Amino acid sequence: MIMNQRYAQSPKEVAGLNTAELRANFLLEDLMQPDQFSFTYSHYDRAIIGSVAPVNEVLELPVYENLRADYFLERRELGIINVGGNGEVSIDGTTYQVSKLDAVYVGKGSKSVRFKSVSAANPAKFFLYSVPAHKEYPHQLITKENAFPTTVGSKDTANERTIYKYIHLEGAKSCQLVMGLTILSTGSVWNTMPSHVHDRRMESYFYFDVPEDQVVFHMMGQPQETRHLVVQNHQAIISPPWSIHSGGGTSNYGFIWAMCGENLVYSDMDAVAIKDLR
Ligand SMILES: O=C[C@H](O)[C@@H](O)CC(=O)C(=O)O
Ligand SMILES: [Zn+2]
């Protein structure tokens, strides 16, 4: 089995792409297929962005030829966040009950990782993010309540949102993985505005709880050379290290953010003043 691949691009190339080319490089539209894994291997930081949505079956993490490994997590770690109904994740025989917006960290060296839904009528939907790892850290469940919820922004500027941090320097331990999610308050539509870049880390956003018939205009590009991607529910974007990653929705919504790079410090961001955007 070979997973999809996406290559890395320079700012100069991206400035010349049309809508279809931008989408082909930076938008992932094949996530959360029933009873299947979906994975994309990004050449930015060798991050793997994926999902598994078990309905009737118990699904075990397979290995792919891209990894040239005996098993998926031989030299990698994995973060999991459930955005669907109640689910179960079993790691080498230890089973965790994973409710909506709970996360699981799976360390390097874990051989068997299995996913199932508690009820096929309201199936679990697991977002998966895997990055290279050099050291084994213990697997653990991190509930939403234990994810340092912090409310930022305001209703006046339509960017009031609560940020939950699961895997980072002060949370669950990892080699490189930093991961959490953000939920916008009703009436607020702007995520990550004011925006930022962090040239030390690429980042992916996975949008969820976007109501049917609504979309998010995800902003990317260098701060003075912006582009957008129109994103639907359960789609993800790849944000190059040099790009802003911010969005305005036609409704409120949630999104998972996940990254890897030089450090594990959540707040390592270079802010861009709104008036400086072009
Ligand atoms: O590097 C950090 C990420 O871009 C997000 O955590 C930002 C975010 O969730 C927000 O401001 O709403
Ligand atoms: Zn960021």
Q: Which atom of ligand 1 is nearest to the CA of 245?
A: 4
Q: Where are the beta strands (DSSP E) in 21-85?
A: 27-28, 37-42, 48-52, 59-60, 76-82
* Residue of the CA atom closest to atom 11 of ligand 1: 192
User: What CATH superfamily classification does 4-276 receive?
Assistant: Jelly Rolls (2.60.120.10)
Cα 181 to averaged position of ligand 1 atoms, centre (Å): 8
The CA angle 14-17-21, to the nearest 5 degrees, is 110
**Interface pTM (ipTM) of the complex?**
0.99
Give mean pLDDT in consecutive 10-residue pieces for the chain, a chain of 278 residues: 95 96 98 98 98 98 97 98 98 98 98 98 98 98 96 98 97 98 98 98 98 97 98 98 98 98 96 98
* Residue of the CA atom closest to atom 10 of ligand 1: 192
Examine residue 194 and say whether the peptide bond preceding it is cis (omega within 30 degrees of 0): yes
In the chain, where the domains are located: 4-276
Q: Which residues line ligand 1 (CB under 6 A)?
A: 161, 163, 182, 191-192, 203, 245, 257, 269
The number of the ligand nearest the C-alpha atom of 185 reads 1
The number of the ligand nearest the C-alpha atom of 150 reads 1
Write the Ramachandran bin of 186: left for phi over 0, alpha for psi from -120 to 50, otherwise beta. beta
Q: Is 134 helix (H, G, I), strand (E, B) or coil?
A: coil
Token pair listed for 103:
């996360």
Token pair listed for 221:
């590009």
Q: Is 163 helix (H, G, I), strand (E, B) or coil?
A: strand
Cα 136 to averaged position of ligand 2 atoms, centre (Å): 26
Q: What is the dihedral of CA 208, 257, 47, 57, to 10 degrees?
A: -40
List phi, psi (to 5°) of 22.
-60, -45
Q: Which parts are annotated binding residues for Zn(2+)?
A: 196, 198, 203, 245
